Amino acid sequence: MRPSIVTDLRRLGAALLLFLPLLGVAQRQHVSPSPPPPALVDLIADFAGDRDTIIVFEEDGELFRHQHGLEPVRLSVLSSTRLASSRDTMLLQSDGRFLLFHGRPYRRLAASTATFRIKLQRPVEQLRPIARRASPPQQASDLLRPELVELSSLDSTIRYDIRYASTNNFMGAAFYSQAKAFLQRPAAEALVRVHHRLREQGFGLLIHDAYRPWSVTKMFWDATPRAQRSFVANPSKGSKHNRGCAVDVSLYELGTGTVVEMPSGYDEFSHRAYADYPGGTARQRWYRQVLRDAMEQEGFTVERVEWWHFDHKDWKRYPVMNVEFERIVVSNQ
């Protein structure tokens, strides 16, 4: 055998040794992690102290502790009120509401499946006429002409749960007259491709919101307390939703129709909603990553503080719009 062939085979073998672990990772990514053992479920939580937050999360059926800037630490469950690592112990109050760690108390942060609500700064009915009289920000003159498409007209198997067409949202009021979802055509067609891609893994898309009139964005901003405004768009700049290039989306299981459980609820104004939040269960984080991977492959980018919010790559090319749903002229299909 010629030396060059031997060399080539050795290089091929080395490449395979590097590639095989990646194959294993790819295979694992397509398998949903098992639910956590029932005994661990009530221990998975976030605990806030006066200086930092302790996140107790699950991975591979075990508990870990996460603190900002530190490596995760594996925990052993000694009892329902005692969690230990190799170097320290955390004590839980009998009702689970408080945690004692290094002599300092940490308060358990509530995690509810109920719809998150803010404390409105002004009633919606006062804000509505103000928003309707206001005008969107000035815009460049070289933007593309809008071409909104209703998503269900492209694929009727995309499911809707349009929260702002009901009172089941963070402000407890209806803002849309119709439970529809519109996007600019390139974004809409990309989203349909995401939906088809996810079928291979047994999932479909669930849409919570898409195009949003600018007046609604203004009401959100004016009603939200200053400390929580990182979760709503500033109307002085307009939202990517206003441009018809942002979508709020989750997953449902094709086989059962069940909506998957993510690390936080939709429109939850907390750190649990962050796209890189390390807490919750392995299965919740896996669902979040499945959604993100599929969206990114079609040109969408996740919003840093909202795992459900994705912006299409062409958003800068479209104007901020303030057309109510019933006045939208949908392009020919």
pLDDT at residue 28, as a whole number = 43
Mean pLDDT of the chain: 91
Unique residue bearing structure tokens 């269960």? 281
Interval 47-80: pLDDT, tens: 999 999 999 999 999 999 999 999 999 999 999 9
To the question of pTM greater than 0.75 for the whole model, the response is yes
Find out whether 203 and 286 touch, Cβ atoms under 8 Å.
Answer: no
Q: What is the chain's alpha carbon radius of gyration, rounded to the nearest angstrom?
A: 23
Q: Is the dihedral of CA 236, 150, 297, 72 positive or negative?
A: positive
Per the CB < 8 A criterion, the answer to whether 315 and 143 are in contact is no
Q: Which of 232, 226, 223 is nearest to 123 (CA)?
A: 223
Cα–Cα dist 64/58, whole Å: 6
> Tens digit of pLDDT for each residue in 158-211?
999 999 999 999 999 999 999 999 999 999 999 999 999 999 999 999 999 999
Cβ(134)–Cβ(215) under 8 Å?
A: yes
Q: Choose among 299, 302, 293: nearest CA to 313.
A: 299
Tokens 């209806």, residue located: 174
Q: Tokens 């929580």 appear where? A: 228
Residue pair 269/118 in contact (Cβ under 8 Å)? The answer is: yes
Q: What is the DSSP code (8-state) at residue 91?
A: E
Domains along the sequence of the chain with CATH: 38-108 (2.40.128), 124-327 (3.30.1380.10)
Its sign, for the CA torsion 54, 55, 60, 63, is positive
At residue 276, does pLDDT exceed 60?
A: yes
Write down the pLDDT at residue 19: 38
At 333 the pLDDT is 53
pLDDT tens digits for 14-50?
443 333 343 343 334 578 999 999 999 999 999 999 9
DSSP-derived 3-state class of residue 238: coil
pLDDT reading at 265 higher than 90 = yes
List the alpha helices (DSSP H) in 134-208. 151-154, 185-199
Residue 112 in this model has a pLDDT that exceeds 80? no
